[in-house]
Amino acid sequence: MAPADDKRLAGRKVVAVACFDSFGKMAMTLLAACRREGAETTLHLLEISNRALSRRQKLEIRRIDPRTRIEKSSWSDFRKITAPMAGEVDALVLGLDGQRSRDALLMLSTEWKSSDQRPILISAYPGILFRFALEGMLDRSGADLLCLNSPQDLATYQQGCAALGMDSSNAVVTGLPILWNVQARQKQPETPSIVFFEQPSIPVHPLQRRYLCKQLKELAEAWPNHSVIFKPRTSSIESTLHRRHGEMAGVIDKMTEKVPNLQLSFKPATRLLRQCGCAITVSSTAALEAMAMGVSTRIVGDLGVTETLGNHFFASSGAVATFAAIREEPFQLTHAPEWLQQNGYQRHGADHFIDALQQRLLSDIRPLPTNNIGPHAWGSSSWQGYAIRQGGRRMLSSGGARSSQRKRHQTRSLLRRIRDGLVGFGWFSKLLRER
């Protein structure tokens, strides 16, 4: 191991804040890369009200880098946690969704306005960008270092910035962070399994989800000597950024009684992929992990190829197939390696990230926005001022219309919370999450 003084971030302090398990994993991956280069690292897991991470989710985050300290707080503590960082911390990773990235930038602008020094702000993605891609990137445009997954994402961001007369030099292609440490599998399993990776909100319609369950049952019957595993995104008591449909796991669980090789598993995706011979999904990021490991990968095409499903992202990958084709031959590699290189997998992504961070640490950084106004990517200063006066800071979100829609449904939301608390035993679910 090289001496600490030879490491590029020796003596630096890098901190991350993250909400939700996927963002926590991404933030921990960035911190791990910084720690290996000599930085002192800390992750603050900020839980959203009534959406606490389960013990399993926290363990999966910790497993990425056990040597990085984890502090647990709530999103409401963001100001208190970050205010003292000016002059004390060198870089802050914002492992946040688009709306909270905006909120965080405005809060930091207020908290750090009197300080001569502030941390470098870093933003990255936990998964592929297949919906609202430019919108999400512009949400995060206030970051000093915006880590993007692919050259296509960078080109999209540059086009959006150019249209607005903005500088796009804060963006760099690092590849998808969760793929940085994925290694091609050296040995093929003797009796490989077939794994379907579920997503929280895709497909949307219950009839589509029932169809997928039926097809998985028929696939298991067609290959009785191979385990066909359904991997739920989370358990019924765990939360994700997107609203999840949990009934698929229940349907599959009932089917396992009559189809012995059909199974349900909550093991981490990486562990399942080690024994996997075919990874199936509609549009999960797990497909990229499988491809990077050299696992046969299939993107479900039965429901069409659309932006709603997100599988249009994989249209040119060579992996789109119907279940009829999957049943016929699931184990043959069909995806194009060059496609993977251009759509999320960067062999030296961690080095690109550290190089970009080091460069920004040694350069002057632009001042944060003032007067509670965000970067030009959020709209003109005239619009932002008007939006704040008329509808509050929430109207600055790219989903401002949706924000106003939520206000109309406050009573309905209150009734739903009361129902969940009384009928759904919300307190009991919260207790189970911590076990």
In angstroms, the CA 397 to CA 76 distance is 18
Q: Is the pLDDT of residue 50 over 70?
A: no
pLDDT of residue 2: 45
pLDDT per residue as tens digits for the range 295-334: 999 999 999 999 999 999 999 999 999 999 999 999 999 9
Report residue 14's pLDDT band, with 50, 70 and 90 as the boundaries: very high
3-state secondary structure the chain: CCCHHHCCCCCCEEEEEECCHHHHHHHHHHHHHHHHCCCEEEEEEEEECCECCCHHHHHHHHHHCCCCEEEEEEHHHHHHHHHHHCCCCCEEEEECCHHHHHHHHHHHHHHCCCCCCCCEEEECCCCCCCCCHHHHHHHCCCCCEEEECCHHHHHHHHHHHHHCCCCCCCEEECCCHHHCCCCCCCCCCCCCEEEEECCCCCCCCHHHHHHHHHHHHHHHHHCCCCCEEEECCCCCCCCCCCCCCCHHHHHHHHHCCCCCCEEECCCCHHHHHHCEEEEEECCCCHHHHHHHHCCEEEEECCCCCCCCCCHHHHCCCCCEECHHHHHHCCCCCCCCHHHHHHCCCCCCHHHHHHHHHHHHHCCCCCCCCCCCCCCHHHCCHHHHHHHHHHHCHHHHCCCHHHHHHHHHCHHHHHHHHHHHHHCCCHHHHHHHHCC
CA atoms within 13 A on the CB side of 35: 18
Q: Is the pLDDT of residue 32 over 90?
A: yes
Q: How distant is the alpha carbon of residue 7 from its chain centre?
A: 28
CATH for the stretch 4-180+346-361: 3.40.50.2000
Q: Is the pLDDT of residue 433 over 80?
A: no
Give the residue extent of every domain in the chain: 4-180+346-361, 193-341
**Which of 105-109, 172-176, 375-379 has the least mean pLDDT?**
375-379
Average pLDDT, the chain: 86
In angstroms, the CA 220 to CA 258 distance is 11
Q: Is the pLDDT of residue 212 over 80?
A: yes
pLDDT of residue 176: 95
pLDDT per residue as tens digits for the range 134-157: 999 999 999 999 999 999 999 999
Report residue 39's pLDDT band, with 50, 70 and 90 as the boundaries: very high
Q: Is the pLDDT of residue 355 over 70?
A: yes
Strand partners, 172: 147
pLDDT per residue as tens digits for the range 74-133: 999 999 999 999 989 999 999 998 889 999 999 999 999 888 899 999 999 998 887 788
| Rounded average pLDDT over 353-363 | 95
pLDDT of residue 186: 82
Return the structure tokens found at 56. 């399993």
> Any residues with CB less than 8 A from the CB of 344 and at least 6 apart, and which?
128, 149, 150, 175, 176, 179, 285, 288
**Which of 234-243, 263-272, 282-291 has the least mean pLDDT?**
234-243
| Rounded average pLDDT over 170-188 | 91
> Any residues with CB less than 8 A from the CB of 232 and at least 6 apart, and which?
198, 246, 248, 249, 264, 266
| Rounded average pLDDT over 36-48 | 94
In contact, 379 and 373? CB cutoff 8 Å: no
Q: Is the pLDDT of residue 238 over 50?
A: no
Q: Is the pLDDT of residue 399 over 80?
A: no
In whole angstroms, how far apart are CA 418 and each of 49, 266, 405?
A: 15, 30, 20
Q: Is the pLDDT of residue 405 over 50?
A: no
Q: Is the pLDDT of residue 347 over 50?
A: yes
Please provide the distance, in angstroms rounded to a whole number, between the alpha carbons at the two ends of the chain. 38
In contact, 299 and 311? CB cutoff 8 Å: yes
Q: At what angle do helices 247-255 and 206-222 cross, to 10 degrees?
A: 30
> What values do phi and psi take at 321, rounded to 5?
-155, 155
> Any residues with CB less than 8 A from the CB of 409 and at least 6 apart, and which?
none
In angstroms, the CA 16 to CA 122 distance is 9
pLDDT of residue 222: 96
Range from 119-123, 340-344, 415-419, 427-431 that averages highest in pLDDT: 119-123
Please indicate whether the domains covering 4-180+346-361 and 193-341 agree at the CATH topology level.
Answer: yes
Return the structure tokens found at 310. 């997100």
In angstroms, the CA 396 to CA 392 distance is 8
Q: Is the pLDDT of residue 236 over 80?
A: no
Any idea which fold 193-341 has?
A: Rossmann fold (3.40.50)
In whole angstroms, how far apart are CA 53 and each of 75, 125, 400?
A: 13, 19, 27
> What values do phi and psi take at 210, rounded to 5?
-65, -35
pLDDT of residue 241: 45
Q: Give 243 or 158, the one with higher predicted confidence.
A: 158
Q: Is the pLDDT of residue 409 over 80?
A: no
